Structure 1
Amino acid sequence: MFTPSDLDVLVPTRDRPGALAVTLAGLAAQTAPGFRVVISDQSREPVAGDRLVAAQVRILGHRDRPVDVRRHLPARGMAEQRAFLLDRADRRLALYLDDDVWLEPEAIEVLLAAMNGLRCGFVGFALHGLSYRDDVRPAELAPYEEWTGGVRPERVRRESPAWRRWTLHNASNPLHLAQEHIGAPGPREWRPYKVAWIGGCVLYDRERLLECGGFDFWRSVPPRHAGEDVAAQLRVMERYGGAGLLPSRAYHLELPTTITDRGAECYDYVFEAAAGAR
């Protein structure tokens, strides 16, 4: 059985100390103590010197959530940043949490319960964008399908019908999905559903992620790339399965992205290049 002491929370950050402080505040308020936080910092000015961040690091330590802040330069892209974090994880579970995400207090408790119940490769919360809470998009919600009878491995590629699930996580779609399919959930209720991928808050079985290659493809992609989480999750999903959880307990701070050049998609290098080589 997985417990909070089995968990490393891995946070990549770059030049967003205010957002990082909010993210860390959400971790400090979690109902589940005992996890560890590892931060990979690629900021121009060390984020550990920011007063708000430093205060949250102290609070986390005081509340039995130790924090390890690592300077990691030069920046070589998000896939390498995530690989660096994975190399520093040593617990059974690894939660990748972006530096602009606030979690409800029960979020980690629910993620652990779901991983214990499903025993798949990963589970995660899609991010709410609450500025879109009144923007209901029925067509984008249509691909929703719950897992029943357990999570199973599946092969998801651009040409497959399952790829259309990516629309489920646009705007405030996770909120509208929960309203439609759950209504008023219990405080720790969760339901697994099928995904194409999940961005921003994903809990992996660390050994299974490593077995599927982790983010080792960083050496084969240009430094300016995007979609590294998509490539890693598709590989894990194909072997062990993965699931999103409703209701989502993760909220996007809706700041401008720090990844402005998306000309190179990791999918093309991991899957298209491999197919061409056969």
Structure 2
Amino acid sequence: MKESETLIENLAKAVPESWLADPRRYADQLIRNLEKDTHPQSEWVLWNPAATGVSRPVMDYLEQLINRMPDPLHIKVMTLDFVPAQADYRRRSSLYFGQKEAAPADKPPASSGVAALPLLWRREFLLHQLSRAFEPLPSALYLPYEIMPLNPQQIMAIPAPPLHHSNGPVEHKSLYTCVLRSGIKWRIAPSSEQLEGVASVIAKSREYRAAASPGRNGSMGIQQGSGVQLGSGVQQGSVVQQGSGVQQGSGVQQGSGVQQGSGVQRGSGVQRGSGVQLSWGVQLGPGMQQGSEVQQDTWPPAPPCEAMPAVSILLAVYNMRESLGWAVRSVLAQTFPEWELLIGDDGSEDGTADLPYLQSDPRIHIHRFSPNRGKVFVLNELLSLARGRYVLELDGDDWLQPEAAALLAAAMDGAPEAAIATGASGLWQGTRHLGPLWRGALPYRGHRADADAAAPLVPRLYRAAMLRGIGGWPRRTGADARLFEDIAVCEALLAEHPEPAVVHRPVYHRVLRADSVSQRGGARYPAWFSAQADNMKGGHPQ
């Protein structure tokens, strides 16, 4: 077959890598490339932002699959299915970073079952989806998961291309060998953890938005039928029971307008059907039906939320316009509806507090402070406004797993003497263009603070009354006043309540950035610790 007669237009490496940092700009350029009609007869487009090249044998393999499809008209996207395998943290992390990686968790999150990589798109569908508005993303690497059909019947999983060696075909033994030896070149070697840590937030927030606006611009109606269970009580290694007053059943309204009718259950067991699995604990099963895709020019408003929140999420930000939207999206994706989000803008100069996305839910409250006073000041001001019995601290460049608030609140409910609930976390490395890249899962190892080094608890859900009982985050003066507030508050609370409540699975995603205040000030820790020890009095720093 001649190149001009190909069934598939190859758009791998169609947009420069530097544009990945701006998903909207990236999508607009991809639209321009598609509208050039390089191959107008090509009904399918090969595209994934992580892919930079595809070999001719792989293209032939994909074209043969298309030719053998009996009735492909309803299929909009084809995803590559790679054999799931246990994470090989050491091997992949050294590949990404050339340095020692984070140790894997003692109970790492189970894979969703399939490491699905969207690769082939029907041309008209791709153009339509790229043209609509979409919610914040950490980078364009994850754009495919934002624009995939919500109807799993429109997604077809195809086997990964066969691997070849000089001695013949090679068996797919791990995701690592699949992605690196499949005839496809990648910017990064995709891992299930890398994809699932982000795709879970995308899937859950898209599901909620669609359910909040049935019939909007195309009559999108997601009907969740019997046998489809969506819940944060998914059994992933360890079983966590949900509590903290969440009533889940017929007619439950989930904060941002999601109403789940009869036949949708949340609990500690999940019935897994033949649907496409996108994330930790999120499965879009065959009970979901779709009319047509939604074109969203504005975010559908959530109904008024008059109930007292159980969890107050505090987010202190300064010049974080680029990353704040994704952090907020992870809050909107929470399976636990009884939250409020208090954002404290500490005199930002980049329009952080003016993001339109911050107006998308009445549970979000923005408070502006000027001039810049530092994170401790902002957090304590927000604490005075918080209404929840628990306070969850979130940084503007980090994000929450959709089940974070539910699992941490349930853990705290089960440990009435604890001042802090914490757990395992995902560790990511911030990059300039590719967004955060997965480094590994950090298990719960307790709080450490000695003269040599410190490792504060991450995440941190506080019992509000106990946090207020020590006066909030310790206020300090001097050169180190804006450093190590996380260590100081943990030291103060654990001195009086030494046993935290623990969730043994990643519920928080932490991004390391070389230009952050904590990273730049790390060398000052020994002097700070010495001064901290001198100032200890009555169980917490004065």
TM-score (norm 1): 0.67
Letter in 1 for 2:488: A
Return the offset for 1:70.
Answer: 0.8
- Residue of structure 1 equivalent to 2:325: 21
2:496 to 221, 229, 239: 239
Letter in 2 for 1:273: N
Structure 1 or 2: more helix by fraction:
1
**Structure 1 residues 93 and 77: CA distance shift in structure 2, 3 A:** same
1:124 matched to 2:418 = no
Q: In the TM superposition, what whole-angstrom CA distance separates every residue of 1:108-159 from its partner, at most 9, and x where no partner exists? A: 11011111112200012454224575679xxx98x947xxxxxxxx9x7526
1:228 matched to 2:485 = yes
Return the offset for 1:266.
Answer: 5.5
What is the DSSP-based 3-state SS (H/G/I as helix, E as strand, rest coil) of the residue aligned with 1:233?
helix
- The separation in 1 between residues aligned to 2:310 and 2:496, in whole angstroms, is 22
**Structure 1 residues 99 and 266: CA distance shift in structure 2, 3 A:** farther
2:464 to 206, 212, 216: 206
Q: Is contact 1:8-1:35 (8 Å) kept?
A: yes
Return the offset for 1:2.
Answer: 3.9
- The separation in 1 between residues aligned to 2:439 and 2:315, in whole angstroms, is 30
Return the offset for 1:96.
Answer: 0.9
TM-score (norm 2): 0.36
* Greater alpha carbon shift after TM alignment, 111-120 vs 244-253: 244-253
Q: Is contact 2:398-2:509 (8 Å) kept?
A: yes
- Residue of structure 2 equivalent to 1:94: 391
- The separation in 1 between residues aligned to 2:424 and 2:450, in whole angstroms, is 20
1:48 to 333, 353, 357: 353
Q: Is contact 1:93-1:204 (8 Å) kept?
A: yes
Structure 1 or 2: more strand by fraction:
2
Q: In the TM superposition, what whole-angstrom CA distance separates every residue of 1:165-215 from its partner, at most 9, and x where no partner exists? A: 83xxxxxxxxxxxxxxxxxxxxxxxxxxxxxx224x311001101112312
- Residue of structure 1 equivalent to 2:337: 33
What is the DSSP-based 3-state SS (H/G/I as helix, E as strand, rest coil) of the residue aligned with 1:91?
coil
Q: Is contact 2:339-2:388 (8 Å) kept?
A: no
**Structure 1 residues 88 and 134: CA distance shift in structure 2, 3 A:** closer
- Residue of structure 2 equivalent to 1:75: 372
- The separation in 1 between residues aligned to 2:440 and 2:341, in whole angstroms, is 34
**Structure 1 residues 165 and 158: CA distance shift in structure 2, 3 A:** closer
- The separation in 1 between residues aligned to 2:481 and 2:454, in whole angstroms, is 26
Letter in 2 for 1:109: A
1:248 to 483, 502, 506: 506
Alignment of 1:95-110 (within 5 A): 95-110=392-407
Of the two structures, which has the highest relative contact order with CA contacts closer than 8 Å and spacing of 6 or more?
1
**Structure 1 residues 222 and 75: CA distance shift in structure 2, 3 A:** farther
CA RMSD of aligned residues (A): 3.3
Return the offset for 1:251.
Answer: 1.4
1:11 matched to 2:309 = no
Unpaired runs of 5+ residues, structure 2, are: 1-242, 247-308, 430-436
Greater Rg over alpha carbons, structure: 2
Q: Is contact 2:427-2:440 (8 Å) kept?
A: no
Q: Is contact 2:400-2:509 (8 Å) kept?
A: yes
What is the DSSP-based 3-state SS (H/G/I as helix, E as strand, rest coil) of the residue aligned with 2:360?
helix
- The separation in 1 between residues aligned to 2:312 and 2:387, in whole angstroms, is 7
What is the DSSP-based 3-state SS (H/G/I as helix, E as strand, rest coil) of the residue aligned with 1:218?
coil
* Greater alpha carbon shift after TM alignment, 76-85 vs 249-258: 249-258
What is the DSSP-based 3-state SS (H/G/I as helix, E as strand, rest coil) of the residue aligned with 1:248?
strand
- The separation in 1 between residues aligned to 2:393 and 2:353, in whole angstroms, is 19
Letter in 1 for 2:385: R
**Structure 1 residues 73 and 208: CA distance shift in structure 2, 3 A:** same
- The separation in 2 between residues aligned to 1:95 and 1:27, in whole angstroms, is 11
- Residue of structure 2 equivalent to 1:187: none
**Structure 1 residues 11 and 266: CA distance shift in structure 2, 3 A:** farther
Identity of aligned residues (%): 20
- The separation in 1 between residues aligned to 2:529 and 2:361, in whole angstroms, is 36
Letter in 1 for 2:354: G
Q: Is contact 1:13-1:41 (8 Å) kept?
A: yes
Q: In the TM superposition, what whole-angstrom CA distance separates every residue of 1:17-75 from its partner, at most 9, and x where no partner exists? A: 1211000001111111121110010211342323xxx22x23333xxxx1110111222
Alignment of 1:132-211 (within 5 A): 144=445, 158=450, 166=455, 197-199=456-458, 201-211=459-469
**Structure 1 residues 113 and 243: CA distance shift in structure 2, 3 A:** closer
**Structure 1 residues 114 and 34: CA distance shift in structure 2, 3 A:** same
What is the DSSP-based 3-state SS (H/G/I as helix, E as strand, rest coil) of the residue aligned with 2:426?
coil
Letter in 1 for 2:382: L
What is the DSSP-based 3-state SS (H/G/I as helix, E as strand, rest coil) of the residue aligned with 2:337?
coil
- The separation in 2 between residues aligned to 1:133 and 1:23, in whole angstroms, is 16
- The separation in 2 between residues aligned to 1:255 and 1:249, in whole angstroms, is 20
Q: Is contact 1:75-1:81 (8 Å) kept?
A: no
How many pairs were matched up? 220
